[in-house]
Structure 1
Amino acid sequence: MPTSLVPQTTDFTLDVLGRYVCNGLDEALASTDTAAHADARPFDLIVLGGGSFGAVLASHLFFNDTSRAHRILVLEAGPFALPEHTQNLPPQLNPGEVWGVPWNSDSPQMWNQRFPGLAFCPGGRSLFWGGWSPYFIDSELAGWPKAVRDDLTAGGYLDTAAEQIGTAQTNDFVYGPLHDALKKRLYDGLRTRPTGTPTALVGNRGTPMTASQPKAQLLRELDAPLAVQSASPRPGFFPFNKFNGIQLLIRAARLAQAEAEQSAVGGSAERDVKKRLMLVDRAKVIRLERQGGRITRVVTNQGTVDVPASGHVFLALGTVESTRLALAALPNQHGLIGRNLMAHLRSNVTIRLPRASLGTALAGIKELAVSALFVKGVHTHTDGSPGHFHLQITASGVGALGTDSEAELFKKIPDIDTLDRFRDLTDEWLVVTLRGIGEMTGDRTSPDPLNRIALDHLGPQGPYDYGQPRALVRLEADDPADPVRRNMALWDALDRATDEVALLLANGGPIQYLGRGGWQDIPPATEARRDILSSTHHESGTLWMGEDPASSVTDIWGRLHESDNLHAVGPSTLPTIGSPNPMLSGVALTRRTADHVVPPPQPSAPEDGFRPLFDGTDRTFNLWRSVGGGTFALVDGAIVSQPGGGELGLLYYTRQNFSDFVLRLQLRTSTVADNSGVFVRFRDPKRRVPDRNDPTRLIPYNNQHWVAVDTGFEIQIDETASPDGQDQHRTGAVYGIPIPVGQAYQRPAPLVPGQWTDYEIEVRGNTYTVRLNGTQTSLFTNTDTWRGRAATADPASGFLGLQAHTGMVAFRNIRIKEL
């Protein structure tokens, strides 16, 4: 069934958002059909997965491509479900329907059968992510390629990623007497810890609390790195609430649509041809087809997408599904794909303290509100290697029966009725939850490591999912192949640190622990505090990056070593996971890959004395305005005329008008029959034109293109010299000026369709000189005092413009030197 052109109505909703953001695959493929549209282009950047990192990648590619040289196709398996993070919505609205587990497990451990799986919808897991995003410290990046480490740290990619997800600034929305009291108590306790312990407890940036930095800086390192931008990034901008990828996709998709509407002539099909980004949902990627080192086709449940010779394909489906596709598509010569599977070790301890134990700091305060604090841990293993973890500490004042310290931090909608209820509370207890997150160590060397992803060729029901084998996942903590038993040793250190910090917060006062039977006086047992390994969405590492193809799966940019055009983004490329949520590292590496594949163009400097009017980017393209019929599009660094509607069109430079100048540009025709021109020294098309015979009478124009025709001069582009074949209508002539009486004209070499030609127009006083490829074609002296006036003689005149007439004539590298 073809995709509906209008929003569809269900029993409850009108699907405006889905229709305005997404396309059907039929629409996407039709937009590449050159038989139906001569200017159709293929999608050369194909992003598989529209979740957390696919959204970051697609939007960054889109905004990097300021010359509009590429088309981006995002294929997402799930339907458009939510336009916003679930924590920004009422807590009862948390759609479990989007979650699914498209893989199997061959592990005897029960948790391998209880993966949360993937969120099948645009935005993916980022719509459900809780928001903690700590920073990396140097030792967590020690096993990474040096070039990548340098880019992430000194190169600023981690800082930029933190800014994008909203953790670059202090979370000043968490404040108040409770927060201040707990932070001071934690700071004082960490400073007085005995030295020489194998586990260091430090701030978010790795600074020991005994360091010589100012106290204020150390206290800031204890603030929670929540992915919520609490201050506006610039005047006039609202701050972000919870970061999520769907907002990036919505913005890029709507900007792509707006560009298309401005650039295309015709209906929805013609606009689709001009769309640089399309998001296709409900498009499950089944397999990739390969010829040699290139991925040549993407096969989905809706149809196939051919990858052009210059195209790139990006695995952004999540670690497990990206690994499945890589295993199925590539030779895996070294057997590395799927090894090094890592997740996070997690423990949770909840304590409560009587409010009286916090002393006079909270005297007179009825409602204790919230606090969110953070401590990073570095444990030294018996072989001297470090292991990393962190503690996420949330605290809230509650009544006698309260047990949830995060309720006020994450789950409130700030309506006035809720605020009124909080004013009436009298908190009796302070409930604190300490959530520990520790890194796993992956195994890259064993031929069949304990933690790995493989293909399930031998499933009990044969091949799965459209005839293809599912991924087969095994994830366990205690790896007997590791003589140090790093995973379990780190988990034990994490739990000891949790208990220590709990006592620091109690400061020698009474403390109770939440156990399975209620509140108790001793810490919970190991099995009662530890989460199953698959309880988070942090699978990573199986397509890790490195410099040597024999010891890594992807290169330092995320391209798989065994492919020329297949890339991976997100946590799958991490060499080591560290303790931070992989959102920060995944976003940083994804943006870095985008910058490598589609670097922002660097326009060449014009000749001495010249300055650019159009340098191939949308920044300078936006300085031009279209009037009349047809339109103009920025395509691959060139302005391309788009005739249509039976009316001629004009694109003119709005920033300035000119008097004497040398104008240089390049032009390209698509066929011999193309017709266009360059207009010079015409009046402002947006203003009425004085009558030639009665200057007090102002003439309005229905088609403002004709203002340029009547009040300026057109330097012609037309190999057929229509309508009559006379040279005064031919390329390189001043249009309509008789030859040889009005202008001296010499025919240039014929324009070659598809080939760029240098065009130069020099205007000095009333003398016009035209040159093609350095050869003079016309010399003309204007004797008409009413048209072709310089800006110095008439402030409303002296404008420059391009014509949309017949065919798709392209212009680029437009620069000027004023004389």
Structure 2
Amino acid sequence: MSTNPTPQRTDFSLDVTGRYVCNGLDEALRSADKSLRPEARPFDVIVIGGGSFGPVLAQHLFDRDKTHSHRILVLEGGPFVLPEHIQNLPVLGLNVPGKTSIADLRATGQDGRPRNEVWGLAWHSNEQFPGLAYCLGGRSLFFGGWSPQLLDSEMPPDRWPHQVVDDLNARYFREAGEQIGVNETNDFIQGPLHEALRQRLFEGIQRHKVTDAIPLAQLRLHLTAPDDASGVTADELKLEAPLAVQSRQPRSGSFPFNKFSAVPLLMKAARMASAESGNDDLKKRLMIVPNCHVSRLKTTNGHVTEVETNLGNVPVPSEGVVVIALGTIESTRLALLSFEGIPNYDLIGRNLMAHLRSNLTIRIPRAVLPIDPAIKELQASALFVKGRHTHADGAPGHFHLQITASGLGASGADSEAELFKIIPDLDTLDAFRAADDSHVVITLRGIGEMEAQNPNSRITLDPEPDEFGMRRAFVSIAPTEKDLALWEAMDKAADQAAQLFAGGQPYEVLTPQGAKKVSTGDSLREMFPYVGRRDALGTTHHEAGTLWMGDDPGKSVTDADGRFHHVGNAYVAGPALFPTIGSPNPMLTGVALSRRMAEQALQARRPSAPESGFMYLFDGTEETFKLWQAAGQGAFSLVDGAIVAQPSSDLGLLYYAPRTFGDFVLRLEFRLDQLEDNSGVFVRFRDPRRPVPDRNDPGVSYPYQNQAWVAVNTGFEIQIDEVARGDAGRGIPDGLDEHRTGAIYGIALGEGAGQQTYQRGPVLKAGRWYNYEINVVGDAYTVYLNGQQTTTFTNSDLFRGRSPERDPNSGYIGLQAHTGRLAFRNIRILPALSPLPRARAALVGNLKKVETVSEYVG
């Protein structure tokens, strides 16, 4: 069924955002179909999963692809639902559902239907899970925002590839932090409650009152301190919560993005792709297809050749890559379904890890904190404590405490009641301002790492097929003895931190059975046993490790770039790559690795430096392409590091606008799409934007309706035309050498004044790259095609081809759009700053070196 080309109406809304951001698979496949349009290009980067990390990779690759070499296709199993994080939208109520199983869903008649609009569960397991958010942005639309950085000890060198760790620490952690808004200490949490709780926690840790809390002096401050942090020590700032929130404008005139999710990144990339393509799907460098479920990857000789989906199959070109960026469990299932038979297949699905998680909530009287009684509204706080427990064998286990607090009344129970909220109305704001908070509710959430390579935790294939006929995953996850010991240490640390906040005074612990008073000397553990605080292992949303990276193909599934060791063009993005999990939420590390993959594994190579003395006019990148300006009809596009002419009904011109050139050596490469293509290189013409003086009466000037003709009439064209077309309207026959490739167009052949001496160069073939060299000194023009001289010419026309010394408005260089999609690349120039013979001698030497390489043909 064809996708509706216009936004669709529901009973309540017009789906403008979905239609403007997304495409149907039929539209995407049609845009890559050469039988419909010969210039169509296949998608060479196919990202499977538009959740948390696929969009990060796709957007960064799109942005960093300065040569426009890639076409990126993002396939997402769910629909477009929300444009940003749910907490950036006021009181929407679209919350994360509780844990469940397929059996429970079937028993209640909910199997096959989404919970809370987008949540679905695709696997069987020994533990219950909430499932996945099947929509663009996935769980990034719902995540809590806590995004601390892995410590070096959480990336042990015997598990993590050393180059990955070096890259993360040197650059990618910092960039990921800035991307998600966790690069600065809390820029939206402040006030007397926050300061009082931070100070009390700081003093307690300094006095070693929290067992296994890492001494603050041993931790690096990964967050940048705000300008107004005077009086706060660096060690105190290490207790600030690393939240993926940006509430201060990053620069003048810009809005903060508030809480991070992946959707705005993908939206911006999609709209940029649409804008630069003129809304022509064929020219889009990035397309997003929702509601497209990928079932399996077809492979041939260790290479993915096709992506099977419920909407149709997507071919993968020989140079293309596929990136699996689903949630960890579904990424692993897809690998198990697709790569059976590879040498390390049995490793796929092992090393499953998640997080140990506990929740402790207490309520303390505000009077136990040193806060001015005149302050009625206490507002909110968020703090962070990093812990490390040493096991009996000396191995470390890592955890952290995520601490949130809100000032409330005597019966308040929600520590986040005043945290992570959009308040669009003055009435609610006034109600907060009028509050007279008597108590503080504090939640201490412990997050601990699970041990890697636990043989009892893995993902396999279940015999039961899903609704698409493919085997489901079965997830087995269980704690080790070390996991249980770490959990014990983490809960103990939470108790100790709670007692610090209470300041030795009575307080209440909030349990599922209600509030219980804790008096001085009472055991908090006895009042609220640890087992009652602990979440099930499947509920953290932090599954990781089952496609872990490593240098040894026999001991890991993927390499340091995230590529499967034994599948040449298949990659993984997301926490499935982690060799160990550490205690941090996977968001920061997953974003960092996705950005690293986009740059190091998938990005096209940057151009090499030009020859000595030369400068690039066009090096294949956006930066230099933007220096060229179009005139006349037709268009020019940047495609795969080349300028591609797209002719129209009349002549088109693209010229280098920043400056003019007098004497020079110009070098470039060109490629015919078809043998019948016709184009050329213009030199020494006047500024197309200005009126042209009359040849016979220079005092009179005329503006051109089609400014491309300024180059024809005031400069010279070095022709590209294997057919050597004439002009029937002017009585000029086809086949004249003055109209052939390598000639100066329209200049008669001969030895006389104003004539060119021409000899044919090599016969051109479509689809191959050829080299032009054009030398201009004074009025002398010499042209070389693949190192072979094709023409020499001395200009005797005082009206055309004037140097900037004679006419300050002349001396421009440009490309023609005439017939067919000719491509140009590597355009560089040597301005004649020294006598040409010396420069020419150097050039001839360089040419002789190149002559041995495939006849100059790419």
TM-score where L is the length of structure 1: 0.92
> Identity, % of aligned pairs?
57
SS of equivalent to 1:748 = coil
Runs of 5+ consecutive residues of structure 1 not aligned to the other structure: 209-213, 262-267, 480-484
1:330-350 per-residue CA deviation (whole Å, 9 max, x = no partner) reads: 226442111111111111111
Say if 2:264 is the partner of 1:244.
Answer: no
Residue type at the aligned position of 1:132? W
Tell me the CA shift for residue 702 of structure 1.
Answer: 2.3
CA–CA separation in structure 1 for the residues paired with 2:488 and 2:264: 40
**Contact in 1 for aligned 2:155/2:165 (Cα 8 Å):** no
**Contact in 1 for aligned 2:130/2:539 (Cα 8 Å):** yes
Aligned to 1:453: 459
Aligned to 2:574: 570
Residue type at the aligned position of 2:767? G
Say if 2:715 is the partner of 1:705.
Answer: no
Aligned residue runs from structure 1 range 621-640, under 5 A: 621-640=625-644
Tell me the CA shift for residue 152 of structure 1.
Answer: 4.0
SS of equivalent to 1:79 = coil
Residue type at the aligned position of 2:193? L
Say if 2:828 is the partner of 1:811.
Answer: no
Aligned residue runs from structure 1 range 410-449, under 5 A: 410-444=420-454, 446=455, 449=456
Aligned to 1:265: none
CA–CA separation in structure 2 for the residues paired with 1:7 and 1:785: 59
Aligned to 1:260: 277
Aligned to 1:219: 236
Aligned to 1:2: 2
Residue type at the aligned position of 2:786? N
State which drifts further: 533-542 or 151-160: 151-160
**Contact in 2 for aligned 1:295/1:566 (Cα 8 Å):** yes
1:564-603 per-residue CA deviation (whole Å, 9 max, x = no partner) reads: 1111110011111110000111111222222232235321
Tell me the CA shift for residue 232 of structure 1.
Answer: 3.8
**Contact in 2 for aligned 1:640/1:810 (Cα 8 Å):** yes
Tell me the CA shift for residue 801 of structure 1.
Answer: 0.7
State which drifts further: 736-745 or 233-242: 233-242
Say if 2:756 is the partner of 1:751.
Answer: no
Quick one: which of 774, 786, 797 aligns to 1:761?
774
Aligned to 1:72: 72
SS of equivalent to 1:456 = strand
Say if 2:158 is the partner of 1:138.
Answer: no
Tell me the CA shift for residue 313 of structure 1.
Answer: 1.1
**Contact in 2 for aligned 1:185/1:505 (Cα 8 Å):** yes
Quick one: which of 593, 596, 599 aligns to 1:595?
599
Aligned to 1:37: 37
**Contact in 2 for aligned 1:204/1:221 (Cα 8 Å):** no
**Contact in 2 for aligned 1:75/1:280 (Cα 8 Å):** yes
SS of equivalent to 1:776 = strand
Residue type at the aligned position of 1:504? L
CA–CA separation in structure 1 for the residues paired with 2:564 and 2:663: 55
Quick one: which of 332, 341, 353 aligns to 2:364?
353
State which drifts further: 737-746 or 66-75: 737-746
CA–CA separation in structure 2 for the residues paired with 1:32 and 1:192: 65
Tell me the CA shift for residue 292 of structure 1.
Answer: 2.5
Aligned to 2:309: 300
Aligned to 1:486: 482
Tell me the CA shift for residue 194 of structure 1.
Answer: 5.9
Say if 2:377 is the partner of 1:367.
Answer: yes
Change beyond 3 A, Cα 1:806–1:129: same
**Contact in 2 for aligned 1:204/1:222 (Cα 8 Å):** no
CA–CA separation in structure 2 for the residues paired with 1:204 and 1:547: 34
Aligned to 2:560: 556
Aligned to 1:185: 200
Question: RMSD of the TM alignment (CA)?
Answer: 2.0
Change beyond 3 A, Cα 1:313–1:613: same
**Contact in 2 for aligned 1:676/1:718 (Cα 8 Å):** yes
CA–CA separation in structure 2 for the residues paired with 1:17 and 1:732: 51
CA–CA separation in structure 1 for the residues paired with 2:599 and 2:159: 19
**Contact in 2 for aligned 1:178/1:362 (Cα 8 Å):** no
Tell me the CA shift for residue 633 of structure 1.
Answer: 1.5
Tell me the CA shift for residue 543 of structure 1.
Answer: 0.8
CA–CA separation in structure 2 for the residues paired with 1:205 and 1:255: 44
State which drifts further: 506-515 or 176-185: 506-515
Aligned to 1:381: 391
SS of equivalent to 2:162 = helix
1:617-662 per-residue CA deviation (whole Å, 9 max, x = no partner) reads: 1111111122222211212111111113x12211111121222221
CA–CA separation in structure 1 for the residues paired with 2:792 and 2:351: 72
Quick one: which of 509, 512, 522 aligns to 2:508?
512
Residue type at the aligned position of 2:78? G
Tell me the CA shift for residue 413 of structure 1.
Answer: 2.5
1:219-266 per-residue CA deviation (whole Å, 9 max, x = no partner) reads: 1111110001244444443333111111111111112122222xxxxx
Quick one: which of 731, 736, 743 aligns to 1:726?
736
Tell me the CA shift for residue 419 of structure 1.
Answer: 2.3
Tell me the CA shift for residue 802 of structure 1.
Answer: 0.3
SS of equivalent to 1:252 = helix
Tell me the CA shift for residue 144 of structure 1.
Answer: 2.9
Aligned to 1:211: none
Change beyond 3 A, Cα 1:814–1:593: same
CA–CA separation in structure 2 for the residues paired with 1:297 and 1:38: 21
Runs of 5+ consecutive residues of structure 2 not aligned to the other structure: 96-115, 222-230, 519-523, 727-732, 833-858
Aligned to 2:291: 282
SS of equivalent to 1:537 = coil
CA–CA separation in structure 2 for the residues paired with 1:707 and 1:545: 58
1:484-520 per-residue CA deviation (whole Å, 9 max, x = no partner) reads: x011111111110001001111222332211223321
**Contact in 1 for aligned 2:206/2:215 (Cα 8 Å):** no
State which drifts further: 700-709 or 409-418: 409-418
Quick one: which of 788, 793, 813 aligns to 1:780?
793
Aligned to 1:126: 140
CA–CA separation in structure 2 for the residues paired with 1:348 and 1:428: 23
SS of equivalent to 1:125 = helix
**Contact in 1 for aligned 2:161/2:549 (Cα 8 Å):** no
Change beyond 3 A, Cα 1:796–1:34: same
Tell me the CA shift for residue 689 of structure 1.
Answer: 2.5
CA–CA separation in structure 1 for the residues paired with 2:8 and 2:656: 41
Aligned residue runs from structure 1 range 643-682, under 5 A: 643-644=647-648, 646-682=649-685
**Contact in 1 for aligned 2:205/2:213 (Cα 8 Å):** no
SS of equivalent to 2:196 = helix
SS of equivalent to 1:28 = helix
SS of equivalent to 1:391 = strand
Say if 2:798 is the partner of 1:796.
Answer: no
Change beyond 3 A, Cα 1:757–1:513: same
Residue type at the aligned position of 2:170? G
**Contact in 2 for aligned 1:89/1:413 (Cα 8 Å):** no
Residue type at the aligned position of 2:33? D
Change beyond 3 A, Cα 1:382–1:207: farther
CA–CA separation in structure 2 for the residues paired with 1:704 and 1:734: 20
Aligned to 1:688: 691
Change beyond 3 A, Cα 1:737–1:289: same
**Contact in 2 for aligned 1:64/1:598 (Cα 8 Å):** no
Paired positions, count: 782
Say if 2:100 is the partner of 1:104.
Answer: no
Tell me the CA shift for residue 731 of structure 1.
Answer: 1.2
State which drifts further: 574-583 or 233-242: 233-242
**Contact in 2 for aligned 1:203/1:375 (Cα 8 Å):** no
Change beyond 3 A, Cα 1:416–1:768: farther
Residue type at the aligned position of 1:428? S
SS of equivalent to 2:170 = coil
CA–CA separation in structure 2 for the residues paired with 1:393 and 1:464: 40
SS of equivalent to 1:40 = coil
